[in-house]
Amino acid sequence: MNNQKIRAIGAGVLVVLWIALTAVSWFAPPKDISEAERRPLKQFPTTNATTLLSGKFMKDFEGYTLDQFPLRDSFRKIKALFHYNALQQKDNNGIYIVDGYAAEMEYPMDKASVERAMGQYNKVYELYLKNSNTKIYNTVVPDKGYYLAKENGYLSLDYDAMFSLVRSKTPWAAWTDIADCLALEDYYYTDTHWRQEKILKVANRLLAAMNAPPAQAADFTAKPMERPFYGVYYGQAALPMEPETMYLMHSNVIDGCTVYDHTTKKTTPVYNPAMLTDKDQYNIYLNGPQSLLTVTNPNATTDRELLIFRDSFGSSLAPLLLQSYKSVTLVDIRYIQPEFLGKFIEFNDQDVLFMYSALVLNKKLI
Amino acid sequence: MLFSSIPFLFYFLPAVLILYFLVPTKLKNAVLLLFSLVFYAWGEPKYVFLMISTICLFFFCGIAIGKAATQKGKKLWLTVSVVISLALLAVFKYADFAVGSVNAALGTSIPLLKLALPIGISFYTFQCLSYTIDVYRGDAAVQRNIISFGAYVSLFPQLIAGPIVRYVDVARELDHRTHSWNDIALGLRRFLVGLCKKILIADRFAVLLNVFRDSSQQSVLFYWMYAIAFMLHIYFDFSGYSDMAIGLGRVFGFHFIENFNYPYMSRSIGEFWRRWHMSLGSWFRDYVYIPLGGNRVKPLRWVFNTLVVWMLTGLWHGAAWNFVVWGLLYAVFLMLEKWGKPIIDRIPDLLRRCYVLLVVMLGFVLFNAVDFTQALSDVKGLFGLNDVPLITKETLYYLRSYAVLFIIGFIGATPHVRNIGCRLENTKFGAFLEPVLMIAALLVCTAYLVDGSFSPFLYFRF
């Protein structure tokens, strides 16, 4: 075969590929959601004179074509592989992978964001806690970067500065450091979260700080979930990663508790079977991101009550704290304004724990 | 619409190609005009009417110049066309700059027009001007078909970022061009080369430039990385766009002039400008510098001519004082080079190349600054006068992360890759490699587009 023929065949393959991608782009039915990215995909935009003349149609159409492009996830994988291997870039869209662990490069510390979150903490304190007979505790959940970034040459938050800032802005709360209770292995490979079956040490550190009896490992059984777990970074990294197994910590106490959702006014178990099929499997812990829940423990050994201001890390930790409390109320001030809390909660004689993750504090989410 | 976007690559381009090659020859320019207007309206829905008006005005000016019986009449219509083009630029591009400068100098508060700058206005007004001037000079015949003229002005491959194609260069091809599989294949290859330069190199450096600006841990090394990254970014962005334009032109049977010739290999600033944005440099030479008298005048007049041309070159790039100073900086170096030629000629090539790169880099630092304060701060940062450390943890991270890209950028800015390609051209290995690389280029560029967000071209607003 002469060179010209080889070139002609190659050019033909290129044109066929181009035409095929074009044809599928034009005629394939649009998809509703992206499983890998956990989000709805953009649909064909509204077409009228206003959207055309303002340029809105064109902008929305671009988003639509990107979202609906054929083999979108495969193309994202090609990009990630090229980015890491050919260009030797150390992160892809801010996600990096070391020793199989995918993590988000959260950097630098956003002082204003942390101060804003502490402003919300202080609002809660001034409105409800200052003159109540509550005991207040504070901690910050370190993200995976705490154990992964520095050793591997990646950028990360200045955790010492963040913890110090949190402490200085909440002098009314007793600080508990939990960073030394954790290790990299306590987090999922493909997700931002810690593994519930690995955080008993954290639970006991906090229980000790609150003068509550420790949780005994023998009381718990870790039961695997049937569905494979694909964490949030699995989709974001777009690189070949193995799914994981998620475990739920069961005990007589946990299984005997009921959870009341003040928003939906529904009562469910701690691990709601209805959430087993949820897109985000981590939502199995106390129904995922909910603004206000109360867990009632009929088998409690004390009359003590616990109030936790928390994110999803707190949702997976809370079941391990249950045995010492008659009731545990979980509040997420990302979804409910502190001003409304007085309508639902009577602040008196509780243990109060503020525990948000470093990622949430740094991302202007509170 | 951007060339480096999914709507262009997989919607617009296939549609225009299918229709263009389906219709008979006499309708091809109409298809090009129609799609070019759609292409323009995609980015500037309202200003497409401004473009249509400009096409009509210059078309009739051309006819009028051709019909005028006397030289005086021809001159009158040429003047009309020059006034129209300058008025367009004055209103849409320079009015707020002038008003702002007056307000700053005199403490007045004359309100600004705040008009959005129509995309590509500097390119298409210059093309229109070249048409009427060439018709006036007798270098080009009058175009009597408004469809053909409209297709020339609005031709989407080079509409928004050049090269600035002169009417005389494409006049014949506008009415009598041929199409061949060879041209289509070579055009697509050139287009994909440009696409790779834009998406895989220029856009990656754009990310680093943003990181630098957002950084709270700048360092001397980071300033140098920023300056070099901007040099590579602007080169690959702009030359990538020119490659895509030239490639697309070839697919449609046009042979546009080259716009870049490895400018970072230059041994003098004069040579740099003969290799960088060549279509703009030659436009100013032929339509401003030479009519002013060029260099065949007394020394003081030559200094004046040089300063005028380079001030206009600076202003063409942007309506701000830093662009004016950027242009004048080159004027100064060009004059110094002319006067110091006997000494410069004795300097070794390596040192001369380093001198060019340093001057160009400092020029681009000025070019890319939002104002003089930032430009001064950036230059001070480069030389450690900004109270920043020599190096930080963040700088090291990005140095490691971008090391390969810098190496690719350095090699890609030299003719080595082209030379290797030429050597392989007629070998069996080369025949296999070329289509494989082209397919890989399409897939990887598409992958970046699908994964990435909107990234406009740098030269979009000129």
Which residue, A72, A98, A124, sits at the end of a domain?
Answer: A98
Q: Over 70: is that where the pLDDT of B325 sits?
A: yes
Rounded to two decimals, what is the model's pTM?
A: 0.89
Measure CA B131 to chain center: 19
Q: What is the pLDDT of residue B23?
A: 95
Shortest Cα distance, chain A CAs vs residue B31, angstroms: 20
The confidence band for B270, taking pLDDT boundaries of 50, 70 and 90, is: very high
The confidence band for A234, taking pLDDT boundaries of 50, 70 and 90, is: confident
Q: What is the mean pLDDT of chain B?
A: 91
Shortest Cα distance, chain B CAs vs residue A56, angstroms: 10
Q: What is the pLDDT of residue A38?
A: 74
Q: Over 70: is that where the pLDDT of B454 sits?
A: no
| Bond from prior residue into B111 cis (ω within 30 degrees of 0) | no
Select from A1, A52, A81, A87 the residue whose CB has the most chain B CBs within 10 Å, as the one to mutate to test that interface. A87
Q: Which contacts qualify for B375-381: CB closer than 8 Å, 24 or more apart?
A: B375/B322, B378/B223, B378/B226, B378/B227, B381/B218, B381/B220, B381/B223
A128 shares a domain with A82: no
B429 shares a domain with B397: yes
Is the distance from CB of B336 to CB of B357 less than 8 angstroms?
Answer: no
B439 shares a domain with B306: yes
Which residue, A98, A118, A148, sits at the end of a domain?
Answer: A98
Q: Partners of A271 in the beta sheet?
A: A285
Question: In degrees, to the nearest 5, what angle opens at C-alpha B389 toward C-alphas B388 and B395?
Answer: 105
Q: With a CB-CB cutoff of 8 Å, which residues 161-220 of chain B face chain A? A: 185, 188, 200, 204, 216-217
Q: Over 90: is that where the pLDDT of A237 sits?
A: no
A323 shares a domain with A256: yes
The confidence band for B181, taking pLDDT boundaries of 50, 70 and 90, is: confident
B187 shares a domain with B40: no
Q: Over 60: is that where the pLDDT of B318 sits?
A: yes
Q: What is the pLDDT of residue A126?
A: 95
Select from B19, B216, B451, B455 the residue whose CB has the most chain A CBs within 10 Å, as the one to mutate to test that interface. B451
Task: Report in angstroms the alpha-carbon separations of B225 from B232, B394, B396.
Answer: 10, 12, 11
**Which residue range(s) make up the domain with B335?**
183-461
Q: Over 70: is that where the pLDDT of B336 sits?
A: yes
Contact B10 A65 (CB under 8 A): yes
Q: Over 60: is that where the pLDDT of B202 sits?
A: yes
Evaluated on CA atoms A298, A302, A308, A311, the torsion sign reads negative
Q: For the segment B142-153, what is each residue's pLDDT rounded down to a tens digit? A: 999 999 999 999
B99 shares a domain with B38: yes
Measure CA A112 to chain center: 21
Q: What is the pLDDT of residue A1?
A: 67
**Which residue range(s) make up the domain with A156?**
110-362
Q: Over 80: is that where the pLDDT of A58 sits?
A: yes
Residue reference for tokens 């061949």: B180
Contacting residues for B423 by C-beta, under 8 A, at least 6 apart: B430
Phi and psi based region of residue A286 (left: phi greater than 0; alpha: psi -120 to 50; beta: remaining)? left
B313 shares a domain with B206: yes
Measure CA A297 to chain center: 26
Q: Which percentage of chain A shows pLDDT scores above 70?
A: 100
Contacting residues for A222 by C-beta, under 8 A, at least 6 apart: A196, A197, A247, A248, A249, A250
What is residue B262's three-state secondary structure?
A: coil
Q: What is the pLDDT of residue B462?
A: 45
Q: Is residue B163 part of a domain?
A: yes
B61 shares a domain with B133: yes
Rounded Cα distance between B299 and B294, Å, is 11
A-chain CB neighbours of B436 within 8 Å are 10
Read off the pLDDT of each residue in B311-327 and give the average, rounded to a whole number.
91
CB nearest B451 (choices: A75, A107, A155): A75
B36 shares a domain with B92: yes
Q: Over 60: is that where the pLDDT of A79 sits?
A: yes
Contact B450 A54 (CB under 8 A): no
Is the distance from CB of B75 to CB of B136 less than 8 angstroms?
Answer: yes
B212 shares a domain with B163: no
Read off the pLDDT of each residue in B125-141 and give the average, rounded to a whole number.
91
CB nearest B431 (choices: A3, A75, A153): A3
B449 shares a domain with B350: yes
B-chain CB neighbours of A89 within 8 Å are 204, 401-402, 404-405
Q: With a CB-CB cutoff of 8 Å, which residues 2-31 of chain B face chain A? A: 5-7, 10-11, 14
Phi, psi of A80 (to 5 degrees): -65, -45
Is the distance from CB of A328 to CB of A322 less than 8 angstroms?
Answer: yes
Q: Is residue B84 part of a domain?
A: yes
- Dig out the tokens for A51 from the structure: 């959207």
Q: Is residue A356 part of a domain?
A: yes
Contact A10 B439 (CB under 8 A): yes
Domain count, chain B: 2
Rounded Cα distance between A283 and A276, Å, is 8
The confidence band for B236, taking pLDDT boundaries of 50, 70 and 90, is: very high
Q: Please indicate if any CB of chain A lies within 8 Å of the CB of B431.
A: yes
Q: Partners of A194 in the beta sheet?
A: A187
Contact B11 A22 (CB under 8 A): yes
B227 shares a domain with B366: yes
Is the distance from CB of B141 to CB of B171 less than 8 angstroms?
Answer: yes
Q: Is residue A32 part of a domain?
A: yes
Is the distance from CB of A362 to CB of A157 less than 8 angstroms?
Answer: yes
Residue reference for tokens 């994981």: A244
Which residue, B121, B146, B177, sits at the end of a domain?
Answer: B177
A192 shares a domain with A48: no
Residue type, A166: V
B-chain CB neighbours of A26 within 8 Å are 10-11
Q: What is the pLDDT of residue B460?
A: 44
Q: Over 60: is that where the pLDDT of B459 sits?
A: no
Q: For the segment B87-117, what is each residue's pLDDT rounded down to a tens digit? A: 988 898 888 888 988 998 888 888 888 888 8
The confidence band for B229, taking pLDDT boundaries of 50, 70 and 90, is: very high
A143 shares a domain with A34: no
Which residue, B149, B177, B205, sits at the end of a domain?
Answer: B177
A148 shares a domain with A78: no
A194 shares a domain with A149: yes
Q: For the segment B273-306, what is each residue's pLDDT rounded down to a tens digit? A: 999 999 999 989 988 999 999 888 888 999 999 9
CB-hemisphere CA count at 13 Å for B55? 22
Q: Determine whether A160 is exposed, middle or buried from the number of CB atoms within 10 Å of its CB (0-12, 13-18, 19+).
A: exposed
A-chain CB neighbours of B11 within 8 Å are 22, 25-26, 65
B370 shares a domain with B292: yes
Is the distance from CB of A319 to CB of A272 less than 8 angstroms?
Answer: no
Task: Report in angstroms the alpha-carbon separations of A117 from A231, A350, A360.
Answer: 26, 22, 9
Q: Is residue A105 part of a domain?
A: no
Q: For the segment B385-421, what is each residue's pLDDT rounded down to a tens digit? A: 988 999 999 999 999 999 999 999 999 999 999 899 8
A160 shares a domain with A42: no
Q: Over 50: is that where the pLDDT of B317 sits?
A: yes
Q: For the segment A95-125, what is each residue's pLDDT rounded down to a tens digit? A: 999 999 999 999 899 999 999 999 999 999 9
B-chain CB neighbours of A7 within 8 Å are 185, 431, 434-435
Contact A80 B451 (CB under 8 A): yes
Q: Is residue A65 part of a domain?
A: yes
Contact B401 A88 (CB under 8 A): yes
B122 shares a domain with B142: yes
B-chain CB neighbours of A51 within 8 Å are none
Q: What is the mean pLDDT of chain A?
A: 92
Q: Is residue B1 part of a domain?
A: no
A114 shares a domain with A88: no
A-chain CB neighbours of B434 within 8 Å are 7, 10
The confidence band for B425, taking pLDDT boundaries of 50, 70 and 90, is: confident
Read off the pLDDT of each residue in A315-329 and give the average, rounded to a whole number.
95
Element (H, E) at B113: none
Q: For chain A, first and last CA: distance in Å?
A: 67
Whether B317 is catalytic: yes
Q: Is residue A104 part of a domain?
A: no
Q: Is residue A103 part of a domain?
A: no
Q: For the segment B20-42, what is each residue's pLDDT rounded down to a tens digit? A: 999 999 999 999 999 999 999 98
Domain count, chain A: 2
Q: Please indicate if any CB of chain A lies within 8 Å of the CB of B445.
A: no
Q: Which residue has the higher pLDDT, B297 or B9?
A: B9
Q: Over 80: is that where the pLDDT of B130 sits?
A: yes
Q: Is residue B230 part of a domain?
A: yes
Rounded Cα distance between A322 and A269, Å, is 13
Please name the residue ranges forming H helices in A125-184. Answer: 145-148, 159-169
Which residue, B131, B147, B177, sits at the end of a domain?
Answer: B177
Q: For the segment A124-183, what is each residue's pLDDT rounded down to a tens digit? A: 999 999 989 899 999 999 999 999 999 999 999 999 999 999 999 999 999 999 999 999
Q: For the segment A251-297, what is each residue's pLDDT rounded down to a tens digit? A: 999 999 999 999 999 999 999 888 888 878 899 999 988 999 999 99
Active-site annotation holder among B176, B233, B317, B416 = B317
Q: What is the pLDDT of residue A88?
A: 95
What is residue A152's three-state secondary structure?
A: helix
Q: What is the largest CA-CA distance in chain A?
A: 90
| Percent of residues in chain B assigned helix, strand, coil, to nearest 5 | 75, 0, 25
ipTM of the complex: 0.87
Q: Which residue has the higher pLDDT, B456 or A273?
A: A273
Q: Which contacts qualify for A225-230: CB closer than 8 Å, 24 or more apart?
A: A225/A276, A225/A281, A225/A284, A227/A276, A227/A277, A227/A281, A229/A188, A229/A190, A229/A191, A229/A281, A230/A190, A230/A281
A127 shares a domain with A22: no
Q: What is the pLDDT of residue B457?
A: 44
Contact B45 A54 (CB under 8 A): yes
The confidence band for B328, taking pLDDT boundaries of 50, 70 and 90, is: very high
Contact B450 A66 (CB under 8 A): yes
